[in-house]
Chain A
Amino acid sequence: MMKLVIDESLCTGCRCCELACSGRRVNEFAPARARVRIRSSREKHGSFISVCVQCAEEGCVAACSQGAIARDPADGIVKIDYDLCTECMACVDACPYDAMSVDVVTGLPIKCDLCGGDPECVQFCRPQALTFILSQD
């Protein structure tokens, strides 16, 4: 099973993850289209990370009336089948972690699918606020 592990206390707010993500996935550096989003707060003296951790709650899966989002039993990644998606965005609203968003160009819901097992964001995260875990269970 694969997933990202988040440690917000290590995040510097550099947003290299957003840039690397959009670069790899949509071929341009466009934070508005990234599957991971960082919000920095001066008042709270820190940065906050929104990205799918392939959680057990599966709010997005439950919210989808079309069965377009499901966990892949092979790798544990929750994936969107865009052939079935009707773009109702119920999944985006349902996510308890604000980890889904809408691609501003395609208008489709997007979420992290771990780049298929080699997440680009992790490779550019110097502080290791984002790490990748591969486990057997």
Chain B
Amino acid sequence: MNGYTGKLLRISLTEGSSREEPIREDWIPDYVGGVGMGYRYLIEEVSPGIDPLGPDNKLLLMTGPFTGTVIPTSSRLVVITKSPVNNTVLLSHTGGSIAGEMKFAGYDGIILEGKAKKPVYVYVKDDEIEIRDAGHLWGKDVLQTQQAIRKELGDERIKVIGIGPAGENLVKFACLTTDSYHAAGRGGPGAVMGSKNVKAVAVRGTGGVQVKEMPGLLAYLKAIMAEQVLNDDHEWTWTDGTPMLVDVSQGACLLPTRNFQQGQFEEAEKINTDQAVAQGSKNRIACLACPLSCGRYYVKRDGVVTERAQYETVALGGSNCAIGDLDAVADFSSLCNRLGMDTISAGASVGFAMGMTEKGVRDFGVRFGDASAYLRVAEDIAYRRGVGDELAEGVKAVAEKYGAADMAVEIKGLEFPGYDPRGSFGMALAYATSSRGACHQRAFVIEHEAFGDMDPFTFEGKAEQVIKGQNFTSVKESLLLCDFWRTSRRVYSKLLEVVTDYSFSYDDLVLAGERIWNLGRLFNVREGYRRKEDCLPARMYEELGGGPDTEERITPEAYDASLSEYYRLRGWDEEGVPTLGKLDELGLTEFADIVKEAKA
């Protein structure tokens, strides 16, 4: 096949066996790749109500038709599973080079099923598959694991994606880490891998990815490089990287600070892009096939070199914990990466613990601005030591235990990322309607609001904007292209034409995006999700200290009206269940039973 390898690798951990099977080519025209295909496999193969941390859950590592090619930003991997945080359909992306390596080994996807009797890791060397003992790796951090695997297999070019102690200990926000510091971070995919007694998947591929028209593809990419890739829209990745958002969020008064009590951090200039660039080393780092290169090494004051923390880490592990020291944030980032924890939820959880301690609700032994205690608590979470064991369950569970829901800033149990919606109302709707819980990546509507031209302090027009974003993202993530390459569905359509044997018009891609989004919703509806879960945490209705200069507030009435508008524009009923008419329109009628049961 062209673009796709046409093969899927299925690993039965319970039986200790593996088998190769053709991918469902009949699904490609409707679901494109990565996320779409992964959703379809998951909803077909995982029964409703199963325990996400039990053997019946599956862990899918999926690539897209462009993965492994020289198309800009094309080496993203998506991990799809049932979320251990909240039973929703979980999608979690990472960069690095593991996705490309999977394609070179010959696979569009790898599905891990069942549960191994004892710790193992999976080694994929082209079509030779081994399930190897990982007893000696259990307990090691992510870096040590990667090094040990490469050493024992005698190949420095092996790519590894795996868990650290956090995943082994089933921390609810354990991630999968690859290439030292790239993470499929959100929603706890590391806990799912850990629950299966899998330490890592190691991949080495020596094959190639075929495309339909190689000279045509190379010529097209060179033709669009200046206008579509290396243009002004993308300059920030090269000059600053994501830390540039610190000043932008601070300026818009929505930088999460002190567990979302404030929108500005008085020490922001100590953790902003100027500081990051000043302490940056000369060497940029990029994912496979990425000319944008948003990563950079960072030199701490003591001379130690580490990967520079990305914006989300700086926001949640910096300002939200009132840590005005980029070196401390870099340490936090490295610690989380090594131990295998999502820096967003880890930062949010520690910030929440600081807030609980300061308010006297529960003493977690850590206060705002205490950089040494904060690193200790983060480590305790990964190892589930002391208070860390409580915090490892995420802020929602801890808040419920202590009756402190007013302090928990989460949706569906997933902690907020780095943009306080009180400074950009559309983000409230984007977070609340995101399938996996509070997440900025599915519809980054803030780029049109606080960071763009739309009025950020109203819900007017936001439902439509959120839907457009979600549908567009669903296609982009099925192609497994990075959020940072801002281009159009027309470019996607042209690329698909020269890479694959399929033809996707602009309109096909618009419809595919909506179809994929609806399939994700159907998974969640089947798990019992309705309107009442698409709600905001109490703190969003409180005044934001140091917030934007406006009288406008998010009110329950205004939010509710916006949610209703969102459901109506989506063709869903008032409970957020897709209508049979919508299913028919999208070619999803085989899932009509989910809708009928939801209404029964």
Q: List residues of chain A with CB under 8 Å of any chain B CB.
A: 9, 12-16, 19-20, 22-24, 26-33, 39-40, 42, 45-47, 104, 120, 123-124, 126-127
Check B289–A19 contact: CB distance below 8 A: yes
Number of interface residues of B (CB under 8 A): 37
For residue B231, CB closer than 8 A to chain A, the reply is no
Check A29–B218 contact: CB distance below 8 A: no
- Chain A to chain B contacts (Cβ below 8 Å), 7 pairs: A12-B293, A26-B208, A28-B211, A30-B104, A123-B222, A126-B230, A127-B284
Interface members, chain B 271-304 (any A CB < 8 Å): 281-291, 293, 295, 297
Q: Which residues of A contact B297 (CB under 8 A)?
A: 45
Q: Which residues of B contact A33 (CB under 8 A)?
A: 208
For residue B70, CB closer than 8 A to chain A, the reply is yes
For residue B81, CB closer than 8 A to chain A, the reply is no
What's the Cα separation between A12 and B222 when bound, in Å?
A: 19
Check A42–B97 contact: CB distance below 8 A: no
For residue B224, CB closer than 8 A to chain A, the reply is no
Smallest CB–CB gap between B82 and chain A, Å?
A: 33
Query: Which of the residues B70, B206, B282 comes within 8 Å of A19, measured between beta carbons?
Result: B70
Known contacts A19-B69, A28-B211, then 19 further A-B pairs from the complex at CB < 8 Å, ordered by chain A residue: A13-B286, A14-B286, A16-B290, A16-B291, A23-B69, A23-B217, A28-B209, A28-B214, A29-B70, A32-B206, A40-B285, A42-B143, A45-B297, A46-B283, A47-B283, A124-B70, A124-B291, A126-B230, A126-B293
* A28/B283 contact (C-beta < 8 A), A16-B291, A39-B156, A120-B218 known: no
Q: Which residues of B contact A31 (CB under 8 A)?
A: 104
Q: Which residues of A contact B295 (CB under 8 A)?
A: 12
Q: Which residues of A contact B209 (CB under 8 A)?
A: 28-30
Chain B residue at smallest Cβ distance from A46:
B283
Q: Which residues of A contact B285 (CB under 8 A)?
A: 12-13, 40
Query: Which of the residues A15, A32, A45 comes within 8 Å of B289, measured between beta carbons?
Result: A15
Query: Which of the residues B70, B157, B206 comes within 8 Å of A16, measured between beta carbons?
Result: B70
Check A15–B97 contact: CB distance below 8 A: yes
Smallest CB–CB gap between B462 and chain A, Å?
A: 36
* A126/B70 contact (C-beta < 8 A), A15-B97, A28-B208 known: no
* A23/B284 contact (C-beta < 8 A), A14-B289, A14-B291, A30-B209 known: no
Check B70–A32 contact: CB distance below 8 A: no
Check B283–A15 contact: CB distance below 8 A: no
Check A14–B293 contact: CB distance below 8 A: yes
For residue B564, CB closer than 8 A to chain A, the reply is no
For residue B86, CB closer than 8 A to chain A, the reply is no
What's the Cα separation between A24 and B295 when bound, in Å?
A: 28
What's the Cα separation between A38 and B211 when bound, in Å?
A: 23
Interface members, chain B 551-568 (any A CB < 8 Å): none
What's the Cα separation between A42 and B291 when bound, in Å?
A: 19
